[in-house]
Chain A
Amino acid sequence: MLITHPLLGLRDAQEFTYLGDARLIDRPAPSAPDAEAAFCDYVFLRDNPAGVHRELWYHEHGDRSWLVVTRDTVTHEVLGAELARNVALARTRCSK
């Protein structure tokens, strides 16, 4: 597989380590009253779609950036990739 790194261009997927669903960026608020339930959902439950999936890949043997890669889990087609940090920052701004 090849992954389109937003800074480095096409890179072999072997350079990366896979984590999973990009929702892992959305860590729940630890002080919320239902925090334990929210964390259970966050840690354990997944949509696991057959189709387009936003997922986290870590460029471990490269520039060490975490990417959010959009990939089809049926065809393995990579539809895009962005820096996870930017995704996370955008989310933080939205929530403010």
Chain B
Amino acid sequence: MTRLAGGLIDRSQTLNFTFDGQRYHGHAGDTLASALLANGVRLMGRSFKYHRPRGVLSAGSEEPNALVELRTGARREPNTRATTVELFDGLEARSQNRWPSLGFDALAVNDLLSPFFTAGFYYKTFMWPKAFWEKLYEPVIRRAAGLGRLSMQADPDVYDKGFLHCDLLVIGGGAAGLAAALTAARSGARVILADEDFRLGGRLLSETRTLDGAQASDWISALEAEFESLPNIRVMRRTTVFGVYDHGIYGAVESVSDHLPEVSGRVRQTLWRITAKRAVLAAGATERPIAFADNDRPGIMLAGAMRAYANRWAACPSETVAVFTNNDDGHHTARDLAAKGVQIAAVIDARPEAKARGDYRLIAGGMVTGSRGRLGLKSIEVQANGRSESIECGALGVSGGWNPNVHLFSHHRGRPVWNEPLQAFLPGEDGPVGLIPAGAAAGHFSTADALRSGARAAQRAMDELGIAASLPDLPRAEEADYTVAPVFHVPGKKRAWVDFQNDVTVKDIKLAHAENMRPVEHLKRYTTLGMATDQGKTSNVTGLAVMAELTGRSIPKIGTTIFRPPYTPVTLSVLGGGDTGRHFRPRRLTPTHHWAEAQGAVFVEVGQWMRAQYFPRPGETHWRHSVDREARAVRGAVGLCDVTTLGKIDVQGADAGEFLNRLYCNMMATLKVGRVRYGLMLREDGFAYDDGTCARLAEDHCVVTTTTANAGLVYRNMEFARQCLWPELDVQLISTTDAWAQIAVAGPKSRALLARIVDRFDLSNEAFPFMACTELTVCDGLRARLFRISFSGELAYEIAVPARYGHALIERLMELGADLGATPYGTEALGVLRIEKGHAAGPELNGQATALMVGLGSMVSQKKDSVGAVMSRREGLAGDRRRLVGLRPVDPAGNVVSGSHLFAEGAPRKFDTDQGWTTSACYSPHVGSMIGLGFLENGDERLGEVIVAANPLEGESSRLRVVPAHFVDPEGARLRE
């Protein structure tokens, strides 16, 4: 078939493309489907289950059959609807789900086996022998299933996200949507008009009906020009509003460069989150087929689509076509095609009273009962008035009536309402707040009705927003009635398709009925009706109607399924493509990051932070070499570690002490100015959740530190306590984590090093003892805070300076400390030092431990209330006998593996005999062997006992001796030196 005359394609631009390697050409304005039809290609795909040859069914996004793999390489895009692909020069498409070729598909054998492959057959078989499911049946099923193929390569394209705000969002740019947009735009309101097509006009583009006596495209062009001139309307073509979310938020995808041959360098698609005060749903309607025997052959398509191909794209699948309809709309197709010179073999109208609307053969009261043609339609069987005849035709347009596109209206679980005269579901009363249906989506099927309802919907929206909007002069348009007969399928013995892609036939629905899978959701799930990539746009109502007929109940009694977002499938890349790879989450860098980088540090992810893990030196071939050296440097000389990532919270106000007293389980109100105290926080349920230090810089000023992991949570909880629990206290909070760079200076020579930078400050043990704190200046006037606290068990300090000086400070300390052996250390050595000292950290304070378990039970003050104090006394917490212990291998060369479970020697390895687990382990250069920490049942009473740490996961087990949970300086003398 060659091109018809007319149409909205630009014949001056010829575009070359290939389908399954075959070269074709089309024109600008074509879709892939229209271009293929114009080239005489009817066979475009294969169905999911039976691999039946299929042609295009529709001319829009509801297409279930003509799915192709578009583009090549990493840009391969499976399951792309040929009907929505805008043709571009050099387009490459391939058919999918067939082997070896579209014309000859070996899996079409499934079609011969279809008597066995009925709805839900797989629930009844493949159970014997038991082991065969995973080994044989399922792999075969999985290979046969699926549609297109992913490229298995990362998507190379770029995606964007954006936010838009408007008074009125108009969804759909057909007659109703255009009228709505015009009405609102002229009122001065901020309007967004979005349409999935690349041209405005919707169904108007596919009709020959006139507006004010002229072609509809003239009116559309005038409107486009007006919109162009108005600053308050944004017209978004190629934009699909796919979902309605709470409070007037709509999700939309704009296809920015999918229609261009070369995507590179441009954004491919943009995800828009549109916040609209009101919206008009003018999404139109979708035609539905009538199910009859073998109604799925290439060449059989929706009558409205056939008309659209002829009128808009000047394409027709055959020189001789027939139409099968149960409503007036089918006659428009016959009339328009005849006018284009296509031969109309017959119009079969199921309604006995039907009248011809043109010069063609009408078979009133007729039914199509079958078809012939393996890879394309050759003829149809027609039965009328007790006679049957065969009519030759290469294409058949079928119209079973129109379903308003109510999808978005039910995204908030609103139920559509059945309309008997229209034989269709219309939007009900319970749609999303602020969404007003109009046009065909609201059941206004004539052009004049659609225009009027669109304008009125916009006026109503403007009225609700207090914006004066008058109805524009709308063009004169067709007011034709629409009558439809309730004919959904033609009775017969052969298979009649309802869901084309998933191969659900009337027989399958009958089977579901016989097996009592009658509620609509059972029908859908049992037969897979409506679960294909078109989400049942062309099949759901027909399926319901067949079930209604079988049960003798009305369609509304059967119910309807709820449409879920998205309206049409959305590319994953555009939903999540903005922040992937290294940009998946923000990366927080410490003030000394660049310095550490220059030292060759290896970094590790700690939540959002990047922290130096260790600082390898030349000659160190294993990370352990570096870590051992760093740990020894701290114990023997002085080490420097950036601890900025610990949360820092400034607490100020007259009640600061009392406030912190209520947050920490231990006494904090008595903390004297110039002193620091370790503090443990409980959740209100009594479990320990965070620890840190509290430094009192002034009577009304404390600085609290938290763990890195809980910095946000502790601050949130403190604000909760301040605002919601004790609003009467005079206390103010601010997080200063990012404001101060904090560096731990640890080791016997730390005092000597710090003495070189402080400005006239006495660091002696007498003047500034363990757990002292102060504000001071360093390096000739730089504001700083100094805390004498120790995580390593050595004489140690933490010094804080404004964050922007962090880099300079560490450089200065390294420079001044060179002769003292100053050594930067990372998180690994930090971990070794704290395990050697027996300090609980993340693996111990994991949210499941009590203060008692970590050996801090005595810290929970009984003299005062604090968050979690009451609940920590519950029997289950108070009676928990697991205690934190130190663990050393009996064999000094033996291993300690964290995550091992602990057992008494000789005990069986079962849950009942499980006595705890190792929480942390490391090699201790100080001890000279592996060491660990762990929670052990009655651990505090078992010091010296040998137990077994079992790691069956990795097939190992070792004998460990229970020791106190500090391996270095148990008396704590060093940190007080």
**Chains A and B directly touch (beta carbon < 8 Å):** yes
| Cβ–Cβ contact B870 & A64, under 8 A | no
Tell whether B873 is near chain A: CB-to-CB under 8 Å.
yes
What residues of A have a CB within 8 angstroms of the CB of B433 in the complex? 75, 77
Chain B 874-892, CB within 8 Å of chain A: the 1/0 string?
Answer: 1000000000000000000
CB distance from B371 to the nearest CB of A (A): 48
**Beta-carbon contacts under 8 Å, A46-96 to B:** 56, 58, 60, 64-66, 75-78, 83-85, 87-89, 92
What residues of A have a CB within 8 angstroms of the CB of B873 in the complex? 36
Output the nearest chain B residue to A65 by Cβ-Cβ distance: B723
Chain B 704-729, CB within 8 Å of chain A: the 1/0 string?
Answer: 00000000100010011001110110
CB < 8 Å neighbour of A43 from B685, B725, B727:
B685
CB distance from B507 to the nearest CB of A (A): 40
Tell whether B249 is near chain A: CB-to-CB under 8 Å.
yes
| Cβ–Cβ contact B247 & A30, under 8 A | no
Tell whether B835 is near chain A: CB-to-CB under 8 Å.
no
| Cβ–Cβ contact B725 & A27, under 8 A | yes
| Cβ–Cβ contact B723 & A30, under 8 A | no
CB < 8 Å neighbour of A58 from B249, B275, B720, B871:
B720
CA distance A1 to B719 in the complex (A): 23
What residues of A have a CB within 8 angstroms of the CB of B245 in the complex? 1
CB < 8 Å neighbour of B727 from A44, A75, A77, A85:
A85
CB distance from A58 to the nearest CB of B (A): 6
CB < 8 Å neighbour of A89 from B684, B685, B728:
B728
What residues of B have a CB within 8 angstroms of the CB of A24 in the complex? 724
| Cβ–Cβ contact A58 & B716, under 8 A | yes
| Cβ–Cβ contact B727 & A92, under 8 A | yes
Tell whether B224 is near chain A: CB-to-CB under 8 Å.
no
**Beta-carbon contacts under 8 Å, B228-284 to A:** 245-249, 275
CA distance A78 to B246 in the complex (A): 10
| Cβ–Cβ contact A58 & B870, under 8 A | no
Given contacts A1-B247, A36-B873, A77-B433, contact A85 B723 (CB under 8 A): yes
**Beta-carbon contacts under 8 Å, A23-50 to B:** 24-25, 27, 30-31, 35-36, 39-40, 42-44
| Cβ–Cβ contact A35 & B870, under 8 A | yes
CA distance A64 to B718 in the complex (A): 11
CB distance from A95 to the nearest CB of B (A): 11
| Cβ–Cβ contact B719 & A64, under 8 A | yes
Output the nearest chain B residue to A93 by Cβ-Cβ distance: B728
CA distance A40 to B725 in the complex (A): 17
Tell whether B347 is near chain A: CB-to-CB under 8 Å.
no
Given contacts A58-B719, A58-B720, A64-B719, contact A25 B275 (CB under 8 A): no
CB < 8 Å neighbour of B720 from A31, A66, A75:
A66
Tell whether B688 is near chain A: CB-to-CB under 8 Å.
no
**Beta-carbon contacts under 8 Å, B635-662 to A:** none
CB distance from A67 to the nearest CB of B (A): 10
**Beta-carbon contacts under 8 Å, B724-758 to A:** 724-725, 727-728
CB distance from B240 to the nearest CB of A (A): 22
CB distance from B726 to the nearest CB of A (A): 8
Tell whether B865 is near chain A: CB-to-CB under 8 Å.
yes
| Cβ–Cβ contact A30 & B869, under 8 A | yes
- Count A interface residues, CB 8 Å: 33
CB distance from B286 to the nearest CB of A (A): 28
What residues of B have a CB within 8 angstroms of the CB of A87 in the complex? 724
Output the nearest chain B residue to A86 by Cβ-Cβ distance: B727
| Cβ–Cβ contact B246 & A31, under 8 A | no
| Cβ–Cβ contact B720 & A2, under 8 A | no
**Beta-carbon contacts under 8 Å, B296-352 to A:** none
What residues of A have a CB within 8 angstroms of the CB of B865 in the complex? 30-31
Output the nearest chain B residue to A19 by Cβ-Cβ distance: B720
CB < 8 Å neighbour of B724 from A2, A25, A64:
A25
| Cβ–Cβ contact B716 & A60, under 8 A | yes
CB distance from B428 to the nearest CB of A (A): 15
What residues of B have a CB within 8 angstroms of the CB of A2 in the complex? 246-249, 275
CA distance A40 to B712 in the complex (A): 26
What residues of B have a CB within 8 angstroms of the CB of A65 in the complex? 723
What residues of A have a CB within 8 angstroms of the CB of B712 in the complex? 60
Output the nearest chain A residue to B874 by Cβ-Cβ distance: A36
CA distance A31 to B866 in the complex (A): 11
CB distance from B26 to the nearest CB of A (A): 44
| Cβ–Cβ contact B870 & A89, under 8 A | no
Given contacts A66-B720, A77-B433, contact A92 B247 (CB under 8 A): no
| Cβ–Cβ contact B723 & A66, under 8 A | yes
CB distance from B246 to the nearest CB of A (A): 4
CA distance A58 to B719 in the complex (A): 9
| Cβ–Cβ contact B247 & A78, under 8 A | yes
CA distance A44 to B865 in the complex (A): 19
CB distance from B817 to the nearest CB of A (A): 39
What residues of B have a CB within 8 angstroms of the CB of A30 in the complex? 865, 869-870
| Cβ–Cβ contact B728 & A76, under 8 A | no
CA distance A51 to B183 in the complex (A): 37
What residues of A have a CB within 8 angstroms of the CB of B724 in the complex? 24-25, 56, 66, 84-85, 87-88
CB distance from A80 to the nearest CB of B (A): 14
CA distance A75 to B723 in the complex (A): 29
What residues of A have a CB within 8 angstroms of the CB of B874 in the complex? 36, 40
Output the nearest chain B residue to A17 by Cβ-Cβ distance: B716
16 residue pairs of the A-B complex, CB under 8 angstroms, read A1-B249, A2-B248, A24-B724, A27-B684, A27-B725, A30-B869, A36-B871, A36-B874, A43-B871, A60-B712, A77-B433, A85-B724, A85-B727, A87-B724, A88-B724, A89-B727
Given A25-B725, A76-B247, A89-B727; 17 other pairs, CB 8 A cutoff: A27-B725, A30-B865, A30-B869, A36-B870, A36-B874, A39-B870, A42-B684, A64-B719, A66-B720, A75-B412, A75-B433, A77-B433, A84-B723, A84-B724, A88-B725, A89-B728, A92-B727
Listed from nearest, the 8 A-B pairs whose CB atoms lie closest are A30-B865, A2-B247, A85-B723, A1-B246, A88-B727, A76-B246, A66-B723, A39-B870
Residues of B within 8 A of A (CB): 245-249, 275, 412, 433, 684-685, 712, 716, 719-720, 723-725, 727-728, 865, 869-871, 873-874
